Amino acid sequence: MFNPIHIKNRFTTKTWTLLIAVLLVALMVLTAVACDIDEIPPKDAISADAAKQIALEHAGLTAADVVMDRADYDLDDGVPEYEIEFRQGRVEYDYVIHALTGEVLFYESEGSNGAMTRPAQDPAATPISAEPASDSVQEISTPTAAAPSADLQQRITAAQAEQIAQKDAGLAATEVTLQRTEFDYDDGAPAYEIEFYQQRSDTERVEYDYTIHAVTGAILAREVDVDRIPDASAPSTPAPVPDAPDAAAQDRISSTDAEQIARSHAGVTAADVIMQRTELDYDDGLLVYEVEFRQGYTEYDYTIHARTGEILSYHKEQDRD
C-alpha cells in the first residue's frame, strides 16, 4: 500500500547521509589545504634551484657530479628552509638551507660503506708547508681515489689555506711552527686540516687547529688551546683544589664577565644566544670558567681564565641533534 510517510522518512535519511558525506569531504579538503600552506615558500624566499646550487657549491660539487634526490620546502620550528639531499657515488649529502637568506643551517654526508670518496691530488694543490722546527712533526697527506670534479680542480692551495688560518689567528708565518697540513673531507666538504702553534714563552704554548674549506677558503672550524708547561726551575707546589682559599670571589672575574668575554669573541650578543652552562672549575691547576652557549644550530664552548679573563681555549661546531 502507498505510504507517503514511509517515503518521506526514506528521503530524509538519504538526504542527511549525503549531506554528512559532503561535509566530511569538505573538511578533508580544508585540512589538506591548511597542511599544504606550510609547504609553500614565502614570496621573498629563494628558489629550490638556488638552494640546490648553494648546497652543491658548499660541498664543492656541480650538478653534473651528483644525483639529486630531494629538494623540499618546509617550516622547522617556524624557520623556513629547504631540505636538500643528493648523492655522489656512494656518498650521500644532506643539507638544510635557510629559505630566506640562503644560509647553510646544517649539513652532513655519509658513505654507504662507511668510507668517504676522495678526489685524486692534482699538482696545483699539492700541500706546501712552512719548514717546521726540529722538534715538531710535519704530516702531509695525499689522498687518492676517483678523479676530482671541475670545482675541486680549482681549489685553493695548502699554502693559501695556511695563510687564511694564520691571518684569522692574528699571526704571521714567522711567528708559528706548522705541525700538519692535510687535505681531507669534513662532513662532506673538501677541506684542509691545519695545525700549528705559537711558542709564547718557555712555559706557554698556544696550539691552533683549523679546518678550511678547500674551494671557498671559508673557516669551517677552529680550536685554540693554551698549553702551559711547568717551569722545571720553579719549586714544586701542589695544584689547588676547588675548596682552596685562593678560589675566593674577590680574586676572580664574575661568571657574567666570563660569558661576556666569550660572546664578544664569538661576535654575538646575549640576545642572540641561549646560554647552556657557565661553571667554575679547575683545569690543570688553573681556576677557569667553562662557558657553553648556542646560536641556532651552532654550539660554542669556551674556557676562560677566572682571574685574568684570558681565553684559554674555544671551539664551535654545528649540531642539529
Walk me through the domains of the chain, giving residue ranges and CATH numbers: 48-111 (3.10.450.40), 123-231+242-318 (3.10.450.40)
Question: CA-CA distance, 150 to 117, in Å (whole number)?
Answer: 16
pLDDT more than 90, % of the chain? 12
Most confident of 113-117, 171-175, 186-190: 171-175
End-to-end CA distance of the chain: 75
Q: What are the cell numbers at 151?
A: 670545482
**Lowest-pLDDT choice from 77-91, 99-113, 131-145:** 131-145
| pLDDT, tens digit, 9 for 90 and up, residues 235-287 | 554 544 444 434 455 678 888 899 999 999 889 988 888 888 888 888 877 88
pLDDT more than 70, % of the chain? 70
> Average pLDDT over the chain, rounded to whole?
75
* Residue 168: pLDDT over 80: yes
Range list of H helices, the chain: 4-37, 48-59, 150-153, 158-169, 255-266
pTM over 0.85: no
Q: What are the cell numbers at 7?
A: 517515503
Number of C-beta neighbours around residue 22 at 10 A? 10
Inter-residue contact 304 to 291 (CB < 8 Å):
yes
Residue identified by cell 676562560 is: 304
CB neighbour list of residue 319: distance below 8 Å, 6 or more residues apart: 294, 297, 298, 299
Single-letter residue type at 224: V
φ/ψ of residue 101, rounded to 5:
-100, -20
| pLDDT, tens digit, 9 for 90 and up, residues 56-75 | 988 888 888 889 999 999 88
3-state secondary structure (DSSP) of residue 109: strand
